Structure 1
Amino acid sequence: MWQPVGEQRAARVPEENDDFTLYGTLDLTSGQTYIEAFEKGRSDCATQYLESLLEETAGKVLLIWDQATWHMSGQVAEWLDGADRIETCLLPVRSPEANPMEDLWRELKEQVAACLERSLDALLESCQKYFEALSPEQSVRTAGLYLN
């Protein structure tokens, strides 16, 4: 926030910044999104998310994702070896433009950036409302894809 020199107001900064990580999947055949929040981007959270994704879906899953360290860990690789319904396709390093889900994350950030809430719970609720209001057609269109 801009303030005149010498007249800046003190800003309270918490001792520890809390955060959360949203995991999300866009079903390219239906346009449905599956979103779940976790405390961090870690391997155990990634496998928990994948377990819940399998509960929400039927049939084979082609998982297209980036090469974040928590996606590439030995723990996740071992879990994926035991998941016969999931086939993975890794995107090139540092190429978010190749991932259709990134367009949804970008729009989410634009929508939620206006949310000046002071709590993580309110921010998470805004994120969840964004995805709940998104129709399957809007999801696919935002991702730059079109259903027949």
Structure 2
Amino acid sequence: MVWDRLNTHISKTMKALVAEREWLTIVLLPGYAPELNPVEALWAHIKRSLANVAARTLTELETLLRRRLEALQYRHGVLGGFLAGTGLDLDRPDGP
């Protein structure tokens, strides 16, 4: 799993949860590195898809966002592209 250094990701509670799962490998990103965070590319993609959309309410905007995100979960190539775009080598992580 690739995480930024959001305080909840590096908290004692989260470290304990990760330690209980030997199969889980965490790769922590540097303090500020949006170019290494695949989520940044995902949100940029979503924002571009909403460029010419004018939601009338927050509920309508939420619905649009949910639909876009749900559609992406089936586009493995696009999701893989967000990871590949970071240039990170996820096969040999350094660990937390």
Q: Say yes or no: TM over 0.5.
A: yes
Name which of structure 1's ranges 85-94 and 130-139 shifts more when overlaid on structure 2. 130-139
8 A Cα contact 1:91 1:98, kept in partner = yes
Aligned-pair CA distance for 1:144: 6.2
Larger radius of gyration: 1
Please tell me whether residue 90 in structure 1 is matched to residue 39 in structure 2. Answer: no
Structure 1 residue ranges, 4+ long, deviating more than 4 angstroms after superposition: none
TM-score (ref. length: structure 2): 0.68
Secondary structure of the residue aligned to 2:84 is coil
Aligned residue in 1 for 2:78: 138
Unmatched tracts of structure 2, length 5 or more: 86-96
- CA deviation string 1:76-112 (max 9, x = no partner): 1111111222111101110010122320111113324
Secondary structure of the residue aligned to 2:25 is strand
The one-letter code of the counterpart of 1:126 is: L
Determine the C-alpha separation between the residues in 1 that align with 2:32 and 2:60: 31
Let me know the Cα RMSD of the aligned residues. Answer: 2.2
Specify whether residues 129 and 66 from structure 1 end up closer, same or farther in structure 2 by C-alpha distance, changes over 3 A only.
same
Aligned residue in 2 for 1:67: 5
Unmatched tracts of structure 1, length 5 or more: 1-62
TM-score (ref. length: structure 1): 0.47
Aligned-pair CA distance for 1:123: 2.6
Q: Which structure: greater helix fraction?
A: 2
8 A Cα contact 1:108 1:130, kept in partner = yes
The one-letter code of the counterpart of 1:96 is: P
- CA deviation string 1:5-38 (max 9, x = no partner): xxxxxxxxxxxxxxxxxxxxxxxxxxxxxxxxxx
Name which of structure 1's ranges 88-97 and 106-115 shifts more when overlaid on structure 2. 106-115
Specify whether residues 137 and 79 from structure 1 end up closer, same or farther in structure 2 by C-alpha distance, changes over 3 A only.
same
Name the structure, 1 or 2, with higher relative contact order (CA <8 Å, separation 6+): 2
Equivalent residue runs for 1:45-124 within 5 Å? 63-112=1-50, 114-119=53-58, 121-124=59-62
